[in-house]
Amino acid sequence: MSKQGNRANNKTAIIKKLSKALLLLMVVGSAATFSYYLYLKWPTGLDKEVAKPASETLKELLVFVEQHQSVNPNLLASSTYHPDEPLYAALAAIQQQNWTHARELLKPLVDQGNADAMFWLAEISYRSNAFAGSDGAKLFKAAAKLGNPYAAIRLTPKYNRYSCEMRMRRDCDDAWGDVAIELLKQRSAAGDLKAEYALLAYARYDRPDAEYFHRYLALVKKSAEQNYFRPLNRLVEMYFDREQLSPFDESKNPLTESDKKALLQLLTYAANNNNLDSAALIYWNFSDLPQATETANTTIIRNLSTITKERHSNIALDYWVDKGKQQREALLRGFAYAKAWDDATLGEADALQFTPRNQRSLSLLQYNADLAALTDEEQARAIAEYGAEIDLQPVIYLDGISGAWDDSIF
């Protein structure tokens, strides 16, 4: 055989070997990718526990709430901050999305070296525009070094990936996650329920098992006893978010009527302790069950003076418009509160510049219900007759887990 023929045969053999190697790599790569997909999609122990009947799994919690059904007269019972605390007014401003006023209240505390104030000022700053990430990161670092675990969480790509990639790329590092977990453990050991909850919440990144779920239930009960209801509300959301126990079926695993009754019973306990986030969950998710809408409305109307969040005020506005179909006076009372909430959010001078959110929502709801708009005379009478009785004292629902934007998945 000629040298040219040998070269051709060698070339063919090499190509065959390379093709086989490439095919093998593709098969191995596909198998690895599929295996990783199965790993991510395979039901965890937590998924399996949530798939069980709620009335059985949550039996201990249900017994507890059955024994405590009275309405708490303290409207601030579930507030994460209280009026005698330095950060209360600033957190109220943040919750009302009154960013300018919040900054004015936080900056003096930051200058005094208050680590929590540094965290909250960073929170309302680092997402405010495309160039604010660096300034926010500096404050997060300062707060974390002074012992705020939630500031360290914000600097950890594992827990705050989008913002770390888009806003604080140069400042984020997974080493901050170790700092955060250690600080949370210290706070938890000292009896801080929010820190204990945060440890469990962030542990969900590591495929939680059945033991995790039962630890979580124990914390829900302990937190409920002290009127901290974020763990309970998140538990209910876990049930609504549950999927079928197949890695190839991403559809929701719907709740049975028995499941929903059990969850409603838990939320009613929180609503009786004046937690409006729980009342909102009832209003938007349980309207098909008897008494659910009435429970939500009763809770919201009892807590009008504490409202700052739109998803709470919208329920009150719906209620007044429904009542206004028979009694127009209900619309006047609704307008008085809508204006008070708007004034608290914007300040009266700003509110004069345009129709603020709650007043605009009330007008739209009236229009959709074919109710005539309030006249100038009716609005003036509403302010004169009902405005004087309004004394707002917000309940704060924000904490380090939710952050300033209240968009945490936990």
pLDDT in tens, 250-302: 888 999 999 999 999 999 999 999 999 999 999 999 999 999 999 999 999 99
Report pLDDT for 61.
97
Q: Is there a contact between 281 and 296 (Cβ–Cβ < 8 Å)?
A: no
Report pLDDT for 12.
73
Report pLDDT for 38.
46
Helix, strand, coil abundance in the chain, percent, nearest 5: 65, 0, 30
Which CA distances in Å does 330 have to 26, 27, 311?
A: 69, 69, 20
Reply yes or no on whether the pLDDT at 350 is more than 70: no
Total residues belonging to the chain: 410
Q: Tokens 């009947």 sit at which residue?
A: 53
Report pLDDT for 349.
46
Closest C-alpha among 168, 173, 223, 166 to residue 200: 223
The pLDDT tens digits for 125-142 are 987 776 678 889 999 999
Return the beta strands (E) in 218-359 as ranges.
none
The pLDDT tens digits for 45-56 are 899 999 999 999
CATH number 1.10.3470 is the correct assignment for the domain at 81-190: no
Report pLDDT for 218.
96
Region 215-232 average pLDDT: 96
Report pLDDT for 127.
79
> What is the C-alpha to C-alpha distance for residues 391 and 255, in angstroms, rounded to an integer?
40
Question: 293 phi and psi, to 5 degrees?
Answer: -65, -40
Report pLDDT for 37.
45
In the numeric block, which tokens belong to residue 28? 């191995």
Reply yes or no on whether the pLDDT at 188 is more than 60: yes
How many C-beta neighbours within 10 Å does residue 314 have?
A: 20
Q: Is there a contact between 213 and 46 (Cβ–Cβ < 8 Å)?
A: yes
> What is the C-alpha to C-alpha distance for residues 275 and 300, in angstroms, rounded to an integer?
9
Region 334-346 average pLDDT: 91
Q: If you write DSSP's letter for every residue of 170-215 in order, what string do you get?
A: TT--THHHHHHHHHHHHHHHTT-HHHHHHHHHHHGGG---HHHHHH
Closest C-alpha among 255, 282, 256, 258 to residue 268: 282
In the numeric block, which tokens belong to residue 31? 């198998």
Region 313-329 average pLDDT: 97
In the numeric block, which tokens belong to residue 293? 């809408």
Which sequence spans correspond to the domains of the chain? 81-190, 313-395
Tell me how far the alpha carbon of residue 249 is from its chain's centroid: 26
- Mean pLDDT: which of 5-14, 35-44, 190-199, 342-351 is highest? 190-199
In the numeric block, which tokens belong to residue 248? 């190839």
Average pLDDT, the chain: 89
Reply yes or no on whether the pLDDT at 243 is more than 50: yes
Share of the chain above pLDDT 90, in %: 72
Which CA distances in Å does 165 have to 67, 178, 245, 254, 410?
A: 48, 19, 33, 35, 21
Report pLDDT for 10.
67
Region 335-342 average pLDDT: 95
**Does the predicted model carry a pTM greater than 0.95?**
no
